[in-house]
Amino acid sequence: MIPTATAKSAPARAQLSDTAQRKTLLVVRSELLPYSETFVKEQAQAYRGWKPVLVGLKRIPGLPVEDMDIQLLPTTTSLPGRAYRKLLRSLHLAPPGIRRRLLPQAASLIHVHFGTDAVDHWDWIRSFDVPVVVTLHGYDINIHKQWWQLPTQSASRRRYPGRLLRLASDPRVHFVAVSAAIKERALEWGIPANRISVHYIGVDLSNFRPSGLPIELRPPRILFVGRLVEKKGVEYLIHAFKMVKSQLPAAELVIVGDGRLRPKLEQLSRQLQLGVTFLGGLSSQQIREEMQKTRVLCSPSVTAENGDAEGLPIVILEAQACGIPVITSARGGAHEGIIDGVTGFAFEEKDIASLSNRILQVLQDGRTASSMGSAARRNMEKVFDLDACTQSLERLYDKLTHNYSTGVRA
């Protein structure tokens, strides 16, 4: 094992463990870190037996990560530098600067979020003699293989399906699916079943908890949180809201998030004269504040034209942790993230009539809203507690590193 460098700091939760006994893992994400990926940071901060180091190519305006260990990989913009990197990639060699930067960390395991990042960083990852975990979140496995291979895609993206499957054949690599639905999709792609485990990411139940007015006393307010892209299905929610408002004029719809479809969705709201409130992107704290005023959260996900679909939206777990009923059509969420009829309602993609009926049921029946909200919180405590989910993941790390050190290969 390579000598260990002294860590800068340890996350608050990790201080519960003896830092000297904790093994190091590299948590890889090219961009550190978009606002939409709080799950990456929160999972890293929940480690107890492992010490995470975030590794990426660049910092972007997004989540604050100054309280964590970070390593930014060396990059170059010069023409000779890019040509040299391209040559190294063609020979499957790691840029020496990256190895020099990361060797002192003495990592025992590398965990990459998203299959696309695993493929992009594989040339340097494979140069380290440690197990590798790749979390599949959604678009990286749901998008149709043929879409990746369209002529309009970059050369590297056209090779993505084949490179991911070659990576899956490496005995060091194990995949984590964020839901059973994602695992099924990975199996359809051809990733071996013994190389895939399902591990929910979970929610910080101390941050997301019931507060504010009791759910049955809140105004008839519907909340959506997410990126405004095709697979989120927001246009179907807006059409359903028109039906809701015709029966319940006091109903409100608040949309949190940004994306390329926002102008189109705002125009649709104006055309239908609905007065939908668009708040844009908000921080995690601001989203919690919005949830405190909400009667029901809707996640009307659809399968996009290219096959992209939700894995298990974290926001539906956060809402339920706050004691809020959830109505969703998300592929993973409708079958794993909620208990249909108990903690919320599932409905089929694009079924506007069903969505509007379910919304009205929660908005007009305080007893249903209250019982669902209470059941939702209990289910989050039982199944989706961030600490418990992360400890389960750490046990997988321990198993993989033990097997690797003793020569056991999957």
SS3 label, residue 122:
helix
* Model confidence at 410: pLDDT above 70: no
Mean pLDDT of 175-204: 95
Task: Give the range among 104-108, 116-120, 197-201, 393-397 with minimum mean pLDDT.
Answer: 104-108
| Residues 354-402: tens digit of each pLDDT | 999 999 999 999 999 999 999 999 999 999 999 999 999 999 999 999 9
> 0.85 cut: is pTM over it?
yes
Report percent pLDDT > 90 for the chain.
77
Q: What is the DSSP letter of 113?
A: E
Q: Please choose, from the candidates 318, 294, 295, 317, the residue with its C-alpha nearest in 3D space to the C-alpha of residue 368.
A: 295
Domains of the chain: 13-202+386-405 (3.40.50.2000), 215-383 (3.40.50.2000)
Mean pLDDT of 168-194: 95
Sequence-distant (≥ 6) Cβ neighbours of residue 403 within 8 angstroms: 131, 409, 410
Which amino acid, one-letter code, is at 212? G
Cα 119 from Cα 116, distance rounded (Å): 5
Other Cβ atoms within 10 Å of 126 Cβ, number:
17
Decide: 123 and 92 in contact? Cβ < 8 Å. Answer: yes
User: Directed axis angle between helix 160-168 and helix 180-189, to 10°?
Assistant: 100
- In this predicted structure, what is the pLDDT of residue 11? 46
| Residues 133-162: tens digit of each pLDDT | 999 999 999 999 999 999 999 888 999 999
Burial class (CB in 10 A: 0-12, 13-18, 19+), 55: buried
Cα 323 from Cα 201, distance rounded (Å): 19
- Tokens at 360, concatenated: 């009205």
| Residues 307-333: tens digit of each pLDDT | 998 888 999 999 999 999 999 998 877
Beta strands, E only, 38-188:
50-56, 58-59, 70-72, 109-113, 132-136, 173-177
Decide: 382 and 364 in contact? Cβ < 8 Å. Answer: no
When the pLDDT of each residue in the chain is averaged and rounded to a whole number, the result is 90
SS3 label, residue 205:
coil
- In this predicted structure, what is the pLDDT of residue 86? 63
| Residues 222-231: tens digit of each pLDDT | 999 999 999 9
Beta strands, E only, 12-141:
23-28, 31-32, 50-56, 58-59, 70-72, 109-113, 132-136
- Tokens at 103, concatenated: 């060797």
Q: Which helix H or strand E contains 253, and what residues bound it? A: strand 252-256
**23: phi then psi, degrees, rounded to nearest 5:** -80, 155
Other Cβ atoms within 10 Å of 24 Cβ, number:
18
- In this predicted structure, what is the pLDDT of residue 80? 57
The rounded Cα 284 to chain-centroid distance in angstroms is 14
* Model confidence at 12: pLDDT above 70: no
